[in-house]
Amino acid sequence: MNAKFDPSRHQLMAPNPNHFLLRPWSSYPSPPSDEDWVPNLSGRQPPFQKIPGLDYRYVETTERWQTLPIRHGL
């Protein structure tokens, strides 16, 4: 898997500390609220805490992951 952050297209946000492929907060792509929690693979979900200095707004479709299928061996 190969992923790249493009600062000209994506807003700065902290990744999910439990796993980089999980949503960063439970209501993602909507902005986080006080009731949000951090998704994890098992166990109790901790509440989401905003990081000071980061702007949390709705994540547009142009900012989300783009899946590009690649065929090997052709």
Residue whose C-alpha is closest to residue 15's, from 44, 51, 45: 51
Residue whose C-alpha is closest to residue 49's, from 24, 70, 71: 24
- pLDDT category at 3 given cuts 50, 70, 90 is low
pTM attached to this predicted model: 0.64
Residue pLDDT, tens place only, 13-68: 778 888 888 888 888 888 888 899 999 988 778 888 888 877 788 777 776 666 66
For residue 9, give the amino acid letter. Answer: R
**Per-residue pLDDT at 43:** 74
Phi, psi of 27 (to 5 degrees): -95, 10
Residue whose C-alpha is closest to residue 37's, from 52, 17, 54, 21: 17
Residues 6+ apart with CB under 8 A from 54: 12, 13, 14
